[in-house]
């Protein structure tokens, strides 16, 4: 579980996060949503420790990150898997080497043990024959799946995904969403996804945190988001006619 308390982050005079408090539960897919510029990426990077924040606290399973020693911080980081928006695969390595990388860095496994584990996770993300390809030879969807494989190869306790569906067609996006949800359930990971893809919100948003102007404007789930009266949320979520119709139908059914 990750708990965030009163998080403040500024860049010069611009305050990007203005006191966010929330929590992300274990075994659930937690979504951070909001318009561009609402502070989602900065929030995610603060959670990951890539940005230092001025005020507030982030606790991983009760341990406040900023109060930990360097070794303890490193131990927590070794338990984090991250899927970046652009996949961030190491372009000088093959797909198998990319996936093996965290094992080489953080475990004492033998080469054959590592290869077995890489085979397993590549099969798990439906890429059983991609070992020797370079990232540049893989499609966007494949690169995302490799990034997921690399993120889960070392059995992380926390999985972060920054816009995992960006640049993907709707069908591939659903495959990626389902994969993330299955992995979260299977390994009971605390998953935090940064997204503005409404399909993801509806499909896998077991917990949703809506950010606006650096503040938490709403918190709920994919079940309660249909019923909310919060105008800011409804403006964002139902900005397309399709979703307006879906909402109308949903409310009709549940009235």
Partner 1 sequence: MTYLHNIGAYFLMIVEMFRKPTKWSVMKQLILKDVDDLIIGSLGIVAFISFFVGGVVTIQTALNIDNPLIPKYLVGFATRQSIILEFAPTFMSIIMAGKVGSFITSSIGTMRVTEQIDALEVMGINSLNYLVFPKFVSMMLYPFVISIAMFLGILGGMAACVYGGFSTLEDYITGIQTDFETFHVTYAFIKTIVFAFVLATIPSFHGFYMKGGALEVGKASTTSFVWTSVVIIILNYFLTQMLLS
In the complex, the residues that contact partner 1 under the rule CB under 8 A are: 48-50, 70, 73-78, 80, 82, 84-86, 88-92, 102, 104-106, 160
Q: Supply the minimum distance, in Å, between the C-beta of residue 71 and partner 1.
A: 10
Q: Supply the minimum distance, in Å, between the C-beta of residue 2 and partner 1.
A: 14
Residues 29/204, Cβ–Cβ less than 8 Å: yes
Rounded to whole angstroms, what are the CA distances from 40 to 89, 144, 186, 237? Answer: 22, 20, 27, 16
Secondary structure letter of residue 229 according to DSSP: -
Q: Which is nearer to partner 1, 84 or 250 (CB)?
A: 84
Q: Which is nearer to partner 1, 104 or 126 (CB)?
A: 104
Residues 109/117, Cβ–Cβ less than 8 Å: yes
Q: Which is nearer to partner 1, 105 or 242 (CB)?
A: 105
Q: Supply the minimum distance, in Å, between the C-beta of residue 7 and partner 1.
A: 18
Q: Which among 15, 87, 7, 89 is positioned nearest to 47, based on CA atoms?
A: 7
Q: Supply the minimum distance, in Å, between the C-beta of residue 134 and partner 1.
A: 14
Helix runs in 61-157, H state only: 70-78, 95-106, 111-124, 140-152
First to last CA, the chain: 35
Q: Supply the minimum distance, in Å, between the C-beta of residue 217 and partner 1.
A: 27
Q: Supply the minimum distance, in Å, between the C-beta of residue 209 and partner 1.
A: 20
Q: Which among 194, 206, 155 is positioned nearest to 47, based on CA atoms?
A: 194
Q: Which is nearer to partner 1, 82 or 95 (CB)?
A: 82
Q: Supply the minimum distance, in Å, between the C-beta of residue 119 and partner 1.
A: 21
Q: Which is nearer to partner 1, 44 or 211 (CB)?
A: 44
Q: Which is nearer to partner 1, 83 or 179 (CB)?
A: 83
Coil, helix or strand at residue 23 = strand
Q: How far apart are CA 113 and CA 220, in angstroms?
A: 42
Q: Which is nearer to partner 1, 73 or 131 (CB)?
A: 73
Residue 165 has a CB neighbour count (10 Å cut-off) of 25
Two structure tokens written together for 110: 């033998």
Q: What is the CA radius of gyration of the chain?
A: 19
């Amino acid at each position: 579980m990750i708990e965030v308390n009163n998080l403040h982050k500024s860049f010069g005079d611009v305050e990007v996060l203005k006191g966010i408090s929330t929590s992300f539960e274990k075994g659930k897919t937690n979504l951070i949503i909001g318009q561009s510029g609402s502070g989602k990426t900065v929030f995610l990077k603060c959670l990951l420790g890539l940005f230092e924040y001025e005020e507030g606290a982030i606790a991983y399973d009760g341990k406040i990150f900023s109060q930990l020693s360097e070794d303890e911080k490193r131990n927590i980081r070794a338990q984090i898997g991250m899927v970046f928006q652009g996949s961030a695969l190491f372009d000088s390595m093959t797909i198998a080497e990319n996936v093996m990388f965290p094992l080489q860095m953080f475990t004492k496994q033998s080469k054959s043990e590592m290869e077995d584990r890489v085979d397993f996770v590549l099969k798990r993300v439906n890429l059983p024959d991609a070992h020797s390809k370079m990232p540049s030879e893989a499609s966007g969807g494949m690169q995302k799946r490799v990034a997921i494989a690399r993120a889960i190869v070392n059995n992380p306790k926390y999985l972060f995904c920054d816009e995992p569906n960006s640049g993907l067609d709707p069908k591939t996006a659903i495959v990626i969403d389902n994969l993330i949800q299955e992995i979260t359930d299977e390994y009971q990971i605390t998953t935090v996804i940064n997204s503005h893809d409404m399909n993801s919100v509806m499909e896998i948003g077991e917990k949703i945190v809506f950010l606006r102007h650096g503040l938490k404007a709403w918190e709920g789930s994919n079940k309660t988001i249909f019923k909310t009266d919060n105008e800011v949320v409804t403006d964002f979520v139902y900005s397309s006619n399709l979703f307006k119709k879906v909402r109308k139908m949903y409310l009709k059914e549940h009235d």
